[in-house]
Amino acid sequence: MFFVFGSVTSLNDVLMPKLKVLFQLNYAEMTLVQFCFFTSYALVSIPAAYLIDSISYVRSVVVGLVLMATGCLLFLPAAQMHSFSAFLGALFIIAAGVTVVQVSANPLVMALGSSTKTARRLTLAHACNSIGTVVAPYLGSILILGVASSGSALPTDASVQEPPAAVISSVYLGIAAILLVVAFVAWTMRNQIPHERVERRGFFVAFELLRIARVRFGVAAMFLYVGAEVAIGSLLVNYLSLPTTLNMSAESAGKHLTYYWGGLLVGRLCGLVVLRFVSASRLLVVCGSAALGLVLLSISTTGGLSAWSLLAVGLCNSIMFPLIFDLTARDLKEKTSEASGLICVAIAGGAFVPLLTGRLADLTSLGASLIIPATCYIGIAAFGWSARPRA
């Protein structure tokens, strides 16, 4: 499940520059892709937690996979209509399914063992997520950006009706077929993992958890983390194509996303070892501070140093999600599914921070706009410091 939603989510980073060319969008308009995608977390996470309590983790996963497949199928009419709005609508449906799967999968991993090893289990699960985020952008660059980069000039309105839009729909139709197969397999396993149904205490009862200071700060940290990670990933293809960095084609820049998301995979595998010796809170402080330093280095330099320092932020991002999730939801027991829904609402940071970053890029430059995700990492490090074990 982590591999599946990691693949689909990271493919947005390849889709965005493609749509930017097809529909002649500015950076703020381009980031509407992430805005529509991650807004679903704000709207669907709490209903997803409610769904889990009603029908179990695995059945909820099946519902999410079917929703994702439905959104992928909607790419076909979107391409036929040549409508950017239709693409955004299809992406929202995909994201709704991703949200249901993610809200279900995280507490399931937490439940499969003792609370003392939760951070390691979540880190391992998110390593599987990272495999998807490494594979999908590379293949997507070949299948999607390869066509977009074949010509140097921006297409006219008439050219939107040509194969490039159809290429996008073909890729997502293939993804839909895979998702339906996985959904069928998950359905056959629906009774193999026991789930204790809990008493439903109201649709918005999860928000009562915000009375806990640790939960409030953790939700805010998750908002900042996802926002920073998505903002950087969304702009990387365009950033690496700049003459002041690597000056490469869109397809080549898209393939370099493998290094950004690959850093998450390497970091999560290393994190499994490091967490044996370092507490989750202190490791979060180190990663947040290192990410801040790398972004500032990228802003203040040019050429390969600027490009590779920003790509290296992926390594620092690697274990932020599982660490923040664990530190926020730890020891909440029967309220874990509600906490998962609440934390996943904060993933909506991936909608707002990239949009704000894109707007600043239109007003100034891509490099200057990175100050926004840099600021986010300050808040993440502060949460790690506040959650450190007290003597």
User: For 212-262, what is the HEC assignment?
Assistant: CHHHHHHHHHHHHHHHHHHHHHHHHHHHHCCCCCCCCCHHHHHHHHHHHHH
Q: Is residue 49 part of a domain?
A: yes
Q: Is residue 376 part of a domain?
A: yes
Q: Is residue 177 part of a domain?
A: yes
Span 14-27, pLDDT tens digits:
888 889 888 999 99
Whole-number percent of the chain with pLDDT over 90: 43
Q: Is residue 199 part of a domain?
A: no
Q: How much is the pLDDT for 151?
A: 40
User: How many other C-beta atoms can be found within 10 angstroms of the C-beta atom of residue 50?
Assistant: 21
In the block, residue with structure tokens 């390691």: 120
Q: Is residue 391 part of a domain?
A: no
Span 48-61, pLDDT tens digits:
878 877 788 888 98
Q: CB of 239 within 8 A of CB of 310?
A: yes
CA 71 to chain centre: 17
Q: Is residue 201 part of a domain?
A: no
Domain boundaries, position 376? 2-190+206-386
Q: How much is the pLDDT for 55?
A: 82
Rounded to whole angstroms, the Cα distance separating 384 from 285 reads 5
In the block, residue with structure tokens 């059945």: 59
For the chain, state the CA radius of gyration. Answer: 20
- What is the pLDDT confidence band of residue 154, given thresholds at 50, 70 and 90? very low
Span 283-336, pLDDT tens digits:
999 999 999 999 999 999 999 999 999 999 999 998 898 899 889 887 776 677
Quick one: which H or E segment has residue 187?
A: helix 163-188
CATH number of the domain bearing residue 119: 1.20.1250.20
8-state DSSP, 159? G
- What is the pLDDT confidence band of residue 196, given thresholds at 50, 70 and 90? low
Residue 104 is encoded by which pair of tokens? 């279900």
Q: Is residue 282 part of a domain?
A: yes
Q: Is residue 64 part of a domain?
A: yes
The pTM score is: 0.78
Sequence letter at residue 202: G
Quick one: which H or E segment has residue 119?
A: helix 118-140
Q: How much is the pLDDT for 161?
A: 41
For the chain, what is the domain count?
1
Residue 12 is encoded by which pair of tokens? 């947005």
Q: CB of 10 within 8 A of CB of 261?
A: yes
Q: How much is the pLDDT for 107?
A: 77
Instruction: Taking residues 113-125, report their average pLDDT.
Output: 78
CA 116 to chain centre: 26
